[in-house]
Structure 1
Amino acid sequence: MIRRFIRLLLCLIGVAVLGGGAFYLVTAPDPLPESHWAGLGAPDPVNGQMVFWTGGCVSCHAAPGSEGDAKLTLSGGLALKSPFGTFHVPNISPDEKAGIGGWTLAQFGNAMKRGVGPDGQHLYPSFPYGSYARMSDKDVNDLFAFLKTLPKSANVAPPHELPFPFNIRLALGGWKFLYFNDQSRVALANSDDKIKRGQYLVEGPGHCGECHTPRDALGGFQAGQWLAGAPNPEGKGRIPDITPASKSIGGWSEADIASYLETGFTPDFDSVGGSMVDVQQNIAHLPASDREAIAAYLKAVPGR
């Protein structure tokens, strides 16, 4: 009897160990190796500046309330409220201690494309690495070079305010297992180079879907609802549908969308409002060809 009990106990321990090992393999951070980032050549900070504006880095990482050139000091501090708790945006200025000045390209690249911090831990997807995973290595390298040219700040953002179990970073590995990949969000038949460029900008550095796509209870995008509009993650109002079926911009032409992104004015001479103000001002820095590419892509995605 005792032997049977011991055997059963050992079997249970073995199953637990195997299960724990499998869980760790599935949920462990998966950074790209240093060798992946070697050999990219000298970065182009001029292109990095365009990537910077496409990604809207100032919208989250500038100090709250800053204006003009002060926005280029990416000291962090913005509080992002969500159903999972409050996330505090970090300092990404070139400061060696408080910011990313001491990071290597591999550390920066893995944060951007793998959601893994320099300490090897999972990053929370309030930082939209789920979109940035689609960026090219060259654009990541160029962006890193441009960020190094910006002013330093010694500001240290407060830690995130997350209740249990959302404060357990290891669990983010399970979230990544369910939702994280670097594949195109939608398959577009017969897309030309212009639409492909727009797809890259919208799905990658522009991370438009992070606000314009509804999410499920775990915070992943709802299947089949790409860019179909969503509740405001901070709880006020709704982020609009921007597919061709949209009641807001569905009737706009490509030229209308491109003009809106440049000027902030709709075809009816209304003006951009809410959180879209910052987005429009960022996109206005891009070359006209990129705004036109974004417009072409938005007219090509399936209506919802």
Structure 2
Amino acid sequence: MRLWLIVAIVAPALAGAAFAVLYLWPVDKPERIEVLAGDPGRGAYLARMSGCIACHTNTEGGGKPLAGGVRLPTDFGTFYSPNLTTDPDHGIGNWNLQDFAAAVRQGISPEGEPYYPSFPYPFYGSFSDQDIADLWAAFKTVPPVAEASTPHDMLPPFNLRMGLKLWRGLFYVPETFDPDPARSDLWNRGKFIVEGPAHCGACHTPRNAAGARQAELALHGASKLPDGGKSPPITSAALKRQGWTISSLQYALKTGIMPDGDVFGGSMGEVVRDGTAFLSEEDREAIATYLLERDG
């Protein structure tokens, strides 16, 4: 009886202590960016490369640019992309450059709360301070839309945002860009785009039961995508087996037309329509070069 009494007293106390630690665990790191003059044109280009338009514009629902509302169903619940317009109440109109940098590169809100990894912030860790300043300059030109973001509809226990701190501790590895001096500038440019802003691995890498990417299977394809489909492997070996060349892949990233005359569908069609179609020929060539010549 004494043992049960001790357990009854200690267990809730330990659970409460663990809850308090998780709640108070700070995850944000101060972003110290020197005041930089941003180029909104370059920032808009980076936003296209990063998929911001596709993920935060509800074209099917007639939504306005970057006003959010795109639905993303998953096994953990349904995510809805937030309003990223300059509206001060419902968007990011009250943010500053430091807030923006912490959100994009760390996945942390101005209030210090972690964002769900449906926002591919780990890939944006490769952005330089100048990239962030340019993006911020571009976002400040977006007209405000006074529409509240749709709240995420998460299943328990994933609706407890503090649990993301534990997830980050276990799985969060920000991407950084480390050029390979043995490779060409074009190859390295493709590496930066594929592993960074374009976040190709977000859809083309399988995930574990906790929703974290399996790094050892990077770009090997994935099932159970939010649209219900699956993504093919885009490793160098897989692409070559399917007959892709740098030229045909570069063309497909511009037009959506594959070598057999068929077109990309689903999410990849949106990626081309709202993203890669706007990139320069050189950047599309860089992506194709990296994917077809990378190891693995």
**TM-score normalised per structure 1:** 0.85
**Match in the other structure for 1:104:** 96
2:239·2:292 contact (CA, 8 Å) conserved in 1?
A: no
1:173 aligns to 2:170 (yes or no) = no
Deviation at 1:255, TM superposition (A): 1.2
Structure 2 distance, partners of 1:208, 1:287, is 18
Deviates more, 1:245-254 or 1:284-293: 245-254
Matched residue SS, 1:142? helix
Map 1:230-249 → 2, pairs under 5 A: 230-234=222-226, 236-246=228-238
Map 1:208-227 → 2, pairs under 5 A: 208-227=200-219
**Match in the other structure for 1:182:** 174
Deviation at 1:212, TM superposition (A): 0.7
Structure 1 distance, partners of 2:134, 2:181, is 30
Percent identical residues: 38
2:23·2:162 contact (CA, 8 Å) conserved in 1?
A: no
2:201·2:219 contact (CA, 8 Å) conserved in 1?
A: yes
Structure 2 distance, partners of 1:251, 1:184, is 31
2:179·2:188 contact (CA, 8 Å) conserved in 1?
A: no
Q: Deviations over 1:64-122 (max 9, x none)?
A: 4267xx75x21111111011001111100111111111111111110101110111101
**Match in the other structure for 1:30:** 28
**Match in the other structure for 2:3:** none
Map 1:21-100 → 2, pairs under 5 A: 24=22, 27-33=25-31, 36-39=32-35, 41-65=36-60, 73-100=65-92
**Match in the other structure for 1:4:** none
Residue 300 to residue 188, structure 1, CA distance change in 2 (3 Å): farther
Q: 2:270 aligns with which of 269, 278, 283?
A: 278
Matched residue SS, 1:238? coil
Matched residue SS, 2:154? coil
Residue 101 to residue 258, structure 1, CA distance change in 2 (3 Å): same
Deviation at 1:63, TM superposition (A): 2.3
1:291 aligns to 2:284 (yes or no) = yes
Which letter maps to 1:253? T
Which letter maps to 1:212? H
Structure 1 distance, partners of 2:180, 2:149, is 41
Matched residue SS, 1:239? coil
Matched residue SS, 2:72? strand
What's the RMSD between the two structures over aligned residues?
3.0
Structure 2 distance, partners of 1:168, 1:25, is 10
Q: Deviations over 1:204-235 (max 9, x none)?
A: 11111111110000111113111110014226
Residue 186 to residue 31, structure 1, CA distance change in 2 (3 Å): closer
Unaligned stretches of 5+ residues in structure 2: 1-5
Residue 229 to residue 248, structure 1, CA distance change in 2 (3 Å): farther
Unaligned stretches of 5+ residues in structure 1: 1-7
Which letter maps to 1:245? A
1:136 aligns to 2:128 (yes or no) = yes
Q: How many residues align?
A: 288
1:214·1:231 contact (CA, 8 Å) conserved in 2?
A: yes
Deviation at 1:241, TM superposition (A): 0.8
**TM-score normalised per structure 2:** 0.87
1:254·1:295 contact (CA, 8 Å) conserved in 2?
A: yes
Deviation at 1:300, TM superposition (A): 2.5
2:126·2:177 contact (CA, 8 Å) conserved in 1?
A: no
Matched residue SS, 1:245? helix
1:94·1:148 contact (CA, 8 Å) conserved in 2?
A: yes
